[in-house]
Amino acid sequence: MSTAQYEYILTARPEPGVALITLNRPKALNALSTPLFLELGKALGEADADAEVGAIVLTGSEKAFAAGADIKEMKDKEFSDVYKNNFLENWQTALTTIRKPIIAAVSGYALGGGCELALMCDIILASPTAKFGQPEIALGVIPGGGGSQRLTRAIGKSRAMELVLTGKQITAQQAESWGMVSRVVGEGEGEVVKEAVAMAKEIAVKGQIAVQAGKEAVNAAHELNLAEGLRFERRIFHGLFATKDQKEGMAAFAEKRKPNFTHS
């Protein structure tokens, strides 16, 4: 995975097992154009397929995680184009088919599609400068990348309604108190990325099968009712007894040593 092959994103391996993807369209505040999203989807797919990678961090710049879908690209589109070509459907495919955990490290603006992109990740860490919002209403549209659905599940109907219908922004602290982000990290340039990479490293040393199973089970909580979700969780839990990592993890505990997971 080399940065040279991409124009709108940067890729790096800041720690063993950790893939870092940085949106890099600074002049447009990382507006999510189609070419950018195609590159993002490719880089995510590569990280997911790479056996050395255990977790992925997705970030933007200090000023903007992403200021939304590219308005200049969208403005002249017609209903027939967007409907026929299922505009934005590829966002969902690019993000939600990834089996490894994705941590969003958000600084600055995460608006519209930028907020939706963060919500498609598994964990959101926010810098104190982060600003979240769904301003599409001011453009004569509504969120089209999952904002009305994922945001409502994250913060509840009344708050989501307020953001979607007024288009107002909320601070990182507000997003934390509403349960939209895991936490606000310390101040300072790059702090949120450092913190996300440290978290990704902590995840990457665990058994990848259990990590992916954990992600699948938590995501099922959004899709299944409680009885189905509990059954799904238990079946996956049972299945993990067929892995070497379960034997290793429990043996290591009993022998008072660190486990050496082989992801098998």
Which residues bind to ligand CAA, rule: CB under 6 A?
28-29, 31, 67-72, 88, 109, 111-113, 116, 135-136, 139, 143-145, 147
To the nearest whole angstrom, how small is the minimum distance from the Cβ of residue 171 to ligand CAA? 14
CB 252 to ligand CAA: min, Å: 45
Residue among 136, 176, 195, 233 flagged as catalytic: 136
| Least distance to ligand CAA, CB of residue 63, Å | 7
8 A C-beta contact, residue 224 and residue 38: no
Is 39 known to be catalytic?
A: no
Nearer to ligand CAA, 28 or 230 (CB): 28
User: What are the distances in angstroms from CA 102 to CA 41, 56, 118?
Assistant: 13, 5, 9
Q: b/e string for 109-139 if b means 16 or more Cβ within 10 A?
A: bbbbbbbbbbbbbbbbbbbbbbbbbbbbeee
Nearer residue to ligand CAA within complex by CB, 92 or 182: 92
Side-chain half-sphere CA neighbours of 150 within 13 A: 24
For residue 68, give the nearest of 98, 124, 112 by alpha carbon. 112
Catalytic residue among 15, 19, 94, 116: 116
For the CB of residue 111, give the shortest distance to ligand CAA in the complex, in Å: 4
- Is-catalytic flag, 113? yes
Known catalytic membership, residue 116:
yes
Q: Which of 7, 92, 97, 19 is nearest to 59 (CA)?
A: 19
SS3 21: strand
Q: Which of 113, 145, 146, 214 is an active site residue?
A: 113
Catalytic residues: 69, 113, 116, 136
